[in-house]
Copies of this chain bind each other. A is one copy, B any other.
Amino acid sequence: MSTFSYQQLFTFAERVFLALGCSEADATLATETLLSADLRGVDSHGVARLSGYVRLWEAGRINARPRVGITHETPSTAVVDGDGGLGLVVGPKAMRIAMQKAAQVGTGWVSVKNSNHFGIAGYHAMLGLAQDMIGIAMTNASPLVAPTYSLDRLLGTNPIAVAVPAGEQPDFVLDMATTTAANGKLEIAQRKNLPIPEGWAQDAAGNPSTDANAVKNGGALQPLGGATGSHKGYGLGAVVDIFSAVLSGANYGPWVPPFVAFLQPPTDPVGQGLGHFFGAMRVDAFRPADEFKQHMDKWITTFREAKAVEGKQVLIPGDPERQMAAHRLIEGIPLLDAVVQDLEKTGAKFSVKL
């Protein structure tokens, strides 16, 4: 384990994106999006994935110079074509379109096709906060999840993020996969040779499994609710898939292209690339922003000060990630040795040093 400053990782990743052919503005934007995951402690979605994006680019599956544009719109909606670009770039651009529409008619809703993985959903949802907007972000993802009763993997971990501005209190930021656990947690258990809790995964025959290798060996991740009924998580993941891809014309369900370059995308696509969905709601489209934020402060303090189980505190969604970001901005971002080596190898392809 070594620790790197945010600035050091930023410079490195930005230079790699530039080497792929990204414009300066896009390289900066992609880096900011990617590293927001490392800052917030979502290590699975941060710089550790840089080599994955590079391999997709090498496989000709990422366009470093996308012309991101609107293909259809109304005053409050748009479909955006990501032109095969990095989701890290397409995502924020589409969210900004949602925010422009919100500025004009109260809310904006953008469904995106022809994109790639966009990092953490929370980053995009949070873009509206500075303008007193509630932000919403979702994306579909490579199929690893079996709907209730299914043996087939038909959904991704399909996250939902909702960011709500507060006043004196820190903002409310929910960012959650619609599965019980992210695949990254299984990988950690694999490395440590530990069993996983029931409700996370099923084996190839559809039985609940506590084997960390279950998904690898033909099983699947279970939707949120796993052990006590996964139909709700399945329903939520389905809504994310429909909003992100059936509305936009991206691939959905089992047709979502895999993130890893060594797996080929399906040869019979039902749309273009993968899909995202973004929403922005001006809070003053409902009530004066000051009034709203005062009540959010009251909501937040009420929940935070609730009587808690011995030794615990009731948290507000976003609390742990915000504290982690504050810490890592100062103390640096720790990376596993395997990740460091992978970054060095990736940088070497373009003569970029970590």
Contact = CB atoms under 8 A, between A and B. Distances in A.
Contact of A312 (B149, B181, B198, B296): B149
A285 B77 contact: yes
Interface in A170-225: 172, 174, 176, 180-181, 197-200, 205-206, 224-225
Report, as a range, how many residues of chain A touch the other chain.
Answer: 35 or more
A306 to B, nearest CB: 4
Nearest to A281: B109
Nearest to A296: B246
Nearest to A180: B228
A226 to B, nearest CB: 6
A309 B312 CA distance: 39
Contacts of A287: 72, 79, 247-249
A249 B282 CA distance: 15
A113 B186 CA distance: 43
A86 to B, nearest CB: 23
Interface string A76-112: 1101000000000000000000000000011101010
A6 interface: no
A156 interface: no
A326 interface: no
Number of copies: 2
A345 interface: no
A315 interface: yes
Contacts of A317: 231, 234-235, 238
B281 A77 contact: yes
Contacts of A200: 228
18 contacts: A76-B76, A76-B285, A77-B281, A79-B287, A106-B109, A149-B313, A150-B306, A151-B306, A154-B302, A174-B239, A180-B228, A199-B227, A224-B225, A224-B233, A225-B225, A242-B296, A249-B291, A249-B295
Given A154-B302, A180-B229, A247-B286, 8 more contacts: A72-B287, A74-B106, A76-B76, A105-B105, A151-B307, A234-B317, A238-B303, A252-B299
Interface of A: 72, 74-77, 79, 105-107, 109, 111, 147-152, 154, 162, 164, 172, 174, 176, 180-181, 197-200, 205-206, 224-229, 231-236, 238-239, 241-242, 246-249, 252-254, 270-271, 281-283, 285-287, 291-292, 295-296, 298-299, 302-303, 306-310, 312-315, 317
